[in-house]
Amino acid sequence: MATQTYTGSCHCGEVRFEVDLDLEAGSGKCNCSICRKTRNWSASVKPDAFRLLSEPSATTDYFRNGMVHWPFCRTCGVRPYGHGDIPEAGGPFYAVQLACLDIADDILAAVPVRYANGRDNDWWHEPSEVEKRFL
């Protein structure tokens, strides 16, 4: 699988985007406070691979830890993507929610998942097997 362009949206469709993504490059789940509560399952790309197709005003930004913006739809509350700049993780990025892509389940099921212990800032180790079930 090479890089392909996918579309995605929130639940109501007010927020729409397009992303150039290589799904074989993998995806991530994390146990930090926001990722766990939102069951964040995302894939990251450089900013030029992400294109917002809807009005920025369709979202409200959630920017609490000073690192990652988590905009969410003003109408339905779904959070289809995030973006930030973390030098330790390669600089500026966009992270799209795989669950928000217009994509077949069998393709999603084949995407490799990398788990991270973000809760303890220990990004290169996985949470326990039990905890992974909640992510």
Residues in contact with Zn ion by the rule CB under 5 A = 10, 12, 14, 73, 75-76
Closest to Zn ion by CB, 38 or 75? 75
Query: 21: burial class by Cβ within 10 Å (0-12, 13-18, 19+)?
Result: buried
Nearest distance in Å: CB 31, Zn ion: 26
CA–CA gap between residue 4 and residue 59 (Å, rounded): 25
CA–CA gap between residue 102 and residue 104 (Å, rounded): 7
Closest to Zn ion by CB, 13 or 47? 13
Nearest distance in Å: CB 12, Zn ion: 3
Closest to Zn ion by CB, 3 or 75? 75
Separation of first and last alpha carbons in the chain? 25
Nearest distance in Å: CB 59, Zn ion: 9
